[in-house]
Amino acid sequence: LTPPPACPAPPRRPLACLAGSTPPPAPSLAMRPLGAGPGAAAHRHLGLLAALLAAWAALRRWRGGAARSLPASFAMTVSARTRLRGMCPVPFTGGSATARFLRDRHEARAVEDTDTMGELFTKYYRLQELNRQLEADTKMAMAEELLEVLDDIERGQSQDASSSRALSLVAEKFQAKLQKLGFERVATLGSQFDPNCHEAAVQREADGYAAGAVCEELRSGWRLGERMVRPAIVAVAL
């Protein structure tokens, strides 16, 4: 048996020719398979990042808003108070650029949502306080009108002895309704004169009362919580 003939070697070009020739083109990354080569993982990450950003921008446009511009860097910090509240975990430090970007974007949105919720709660409490003040003002305006009717009933009770019992029942029912709405009658007889809730109409000698004490109520006084509807007009003992 004779061995097969050897393949002829390609002709070698002189070094002088190689010095002036164009080097062969480097293999393009686009021609490499996606799952091969040392840069395959980076290609997959960049492709996933591009797809996520495109979907995010399309979603923003579909919802009627403009797509947000990307942050200048991936290094976003989360406020300390947000972390203490437990709204987001400790910032992620490892992993790929895509994972870091997604975590940073999640943390930034958590901070934004926390601030938004804080503003909404503040506005809610302010609205509740405004509603309480409006309700109190409405009750006080109504009470000022109705208390005039109570004054007439009490004056009729003191002048007409025959109908005193009937008027007394009406006055008691009237006062019960006011107390049910949150009104409180100012204490007068025997209490020390208080300029915050009493208005002195006269001073006179009164047996059984200390100096400066209220010895007679000329008109009832009422308050609603800490707010004074009207002071009580009283006589003060000397």
Q: What is the pLDDT of residues 99-146, one digit of tens each?
A: 777 888 888 887 777 878 888 888 888 888 888 888 888 888 888 888
Q: Is position 215 within any domain?
A: yes
Tens digit of pLDDT for each residue in 172-220?
888 898 888 889 999 999 999 999 999 999 999 988 899 999 999 999 9
- Identify the CA nearest to 115 among candidates 68, 159, 78, 61: 78
In a domain, 220, yes or no: yes
Its domain, for residue 208, covers 183-238
pLDDT range class, residue 27, cuts 50, 70, 90: very low
pLDDT at 90: 46
pLDDT for residue 110: 79
Mean pLDDT of the chain: 72
**Both tokens of residue 115?**
């601030």
pLDDT tens, position by position, 139-184: 888 888 888 888 888 888 777 766 778 888 888 888 898 888 889 9
Q: What is the pLDDT of residue 150?
A: 87
Sign (positive or negative) of CA dihedral 139, 144, 150, 154? positive
Q: What is the mean pLDDT of residues 66-85?
A: 42
Choose among 173, 214, 221: nearest CA to 190. Answer: 214
Q: What is the pLDDT of residues 50-71, one digit of tens each?
A: 666 666 666 556 555 444 444 4
CATH number of the domain enclosing 218: 2.30.22.10
Whole-prediction pTM:
0.48
Q: Which of 51, 16, 225 is nearest to 139 (CA)?
A: 225
Distance CA 200, CA 91 (A): 69
> To 10 degrees, the CA torsion angle through 14, 20, 21, 22?
150
Q: Is residue 173 part of a domain?
A: no
DSSP output for 185-197:
EPP-TTSBP-TTT
Asked whether residue 200 is domain-assigned, the answer is yes
Instruction: Report the pLDDT value the prediction gives residue 237, as an integer from 0 to 100.
Output: 93
In a domain, 127, yes or no: no
CB-CB contact of 206 with 215 (8 Å): yes
Residue 130 lies in a domain: no
Q: Looking at the 3D structure of the chain, how many domains does it have?
A: 1
Q: What is the pLDDT of residue 201?
A: 93
Q: Does 89 map to a domain? A: no
Is residue 144 one of the residues assigned to a domain? Answer: no
pLDDT at position 9: 56
